[in-house]
Chains A and B, each alone.
Chain A
């Protein structure tokens, strides 16, 4: 399964920006949503509104604020900041960054760096891929949801707490990538978990 990441590329040169975009789009195993900006003063605001997972930034654009402040003050504490380098840069400038990408990096090198940053997420996704089949309990819950039962009613019927029901529902949505009740209904009918007459016509 692809890892979805939202990346903000902050770089003055449109040639370098577009080059970065092309390189990123070539990486398999990832699906990127890219936002590009060319001006330093837009960085904080864009992070606040778009909440990207990664900021790839030319270090010379970090003016008037620090990487630390960026993480703390823009509501994105988990954002990974990657320095985009195409000239010699002082080590102290680079220290706060989570990673560096050099414009001479190959595709494989960029991939490795991203994979390292998201090692845990990749691991989890791989495990999820193996566990996409619903457990017996989860199937029971799908059937209840499809019949239109509330979380409360499902909890009573299956002798669970509503909290557990909610957790199950979240896992089901993640495994199947189906987030709506009507989508689950289609899933349940197609996979013969319920019959049409059990769920009522409307």
Chain B
């Protein structure tokens, strides 16, 4: 579906986005706005004060769909500050935009089914949102402050990134479950609006999955390097 070659910073930003449109989210999470004209990826990043090599690494990692730890040399070249901004903005996107919007859309599209079913589906979604919130809040409240400390040269001896590595679990399973429940058992008529919700559920599950991949395979290795240096 998408082109799978590695991109270079001399390629045009618009080519990258047109070839792989989910990258528009990546760009936005790094803090790059639309309206980049015909500029290259490198120029656009520099203009927005985004670390070019970190941006390229994330983009190429996602495009290649590799599920493995990055090399230590690549981990060394990453800007941890840029990664934290990226991850934080992604959390903000999921919690304050994606999930609330999806909820509103879901509630609006299941009103043709019995009230108790609509109620229980909505409750499932709310419980799920709560889980995602907890998962991401831990990263915001425990992991990022620890990493910011490392960046300032302070090492908190009570914590290390392998604690996070061990407890970091998948968060997309339940949203996949919801999609399956709707597909297999939805008792109402459904229609365009519910189909659109299903598309969103597929996309959100994929987005959450790759979000976790970045944390596991880019962020954690980068912090392991940082821990050695601090």
Q: Which residues of A contact B (CB under 8 A)?
A: 33-37, 46, 49-50, 177-180, 182-183, 185-187, 189-191, 195-196
Contact = CB atoms under 8 A, between A and B. Distances in A.
A195 B114 CA distance: 12
A178 B68 contact: no
Interface string B20-52: 000000000000000000000000000000000
A17 to B, nearest CB: 11
Nearest to A180: B174
A186 B181 contact: yes
Nearest to B115: A196
B67 interface: yes
B135 to A, nearest CB: 15
Interface residues of B, number: 22
Nearest to B185: A190
A99 B124 CA distance: 45
B206 to A, nearest CB: 13
Task: With a 10 A CB-CB cut-off, give which of B119, B123, B128, B186 has the most chain A CB atoms.
Answer: B123
Interface string B100-130: 0000000000000000110111011001100
A49 B120 CA distance: 38
Contacts of A34: 67
A46 B68 contact: yes
22 contacts: A34-B67, A35-B66, A36-B66, A50-B68, A177-B180, A180-B174, A182-B123, A182-B174, A183-B124, A183-B174, A183-B178, A185-B124, A186-B121, A186-B124, A186-B178, A186-B185, A189-B117, A190-B117, A191-B185, A195-B116, A196-B119, A196-B120
Given A34-B67, A180-B174, 17 more contacts: A33-B67, A36-B66, A46-B68, A49-B69, A177-B177, A177-B180, A179-B177, A182-B123, A182-B124, A182-B128, A183-B124, A186-B117, A186-B178, A190-B117, A190-B120, A191-B185, A196-B119
Given A37-B68, A182-B127, A187 B117 contact: no
Given A186-B124, A195-B116, A196-B120, A180 B68 contact: no
Interface of B: 66-69, 116-117, 119-121, 123-124, 127-128, 173-174, 177-178, 180-181, 185-187
A160 B214 CA distance: 45
B108 to A, nearest CB: 18
Contacts of A46: 68
A33 B170 CA distance: 15
A185 B120 contact: yes
Sorted nearest first, the 5 A-B pairs with minimum C-beta distance are A196-B116, A190-B185, A189-B120, A183-B177, A182-B124
A35 B66 CA distance: 6
A185 B121 CA distance: 9
A178 B177 CA distance: 6
B67 to A, nearest CB: 5
A183 B119 contact: no
A43 B175 CA distance: 33
Contacts of A196: 116, 119-120
Contacts of A49: 69
Contacts of B116: 189, 195-196
Nearest to A177: B180
A196 B187 CA distance: 16
A153 B18 CA distance: 57
Nearest to B120: A189
A155 to B, nearest CB: 26
Nearest to B121: A186
A193 B71 CA distance: 52
Contact of B185 (A37, A50, A182, A187): A187
Nearest to A188: B120
A11 B123 CA distance: 47
Task: With a 10 A CB-CB cut-off, give which of B119, B120, B187 has the most chain A CB atoms.
Answer: B120
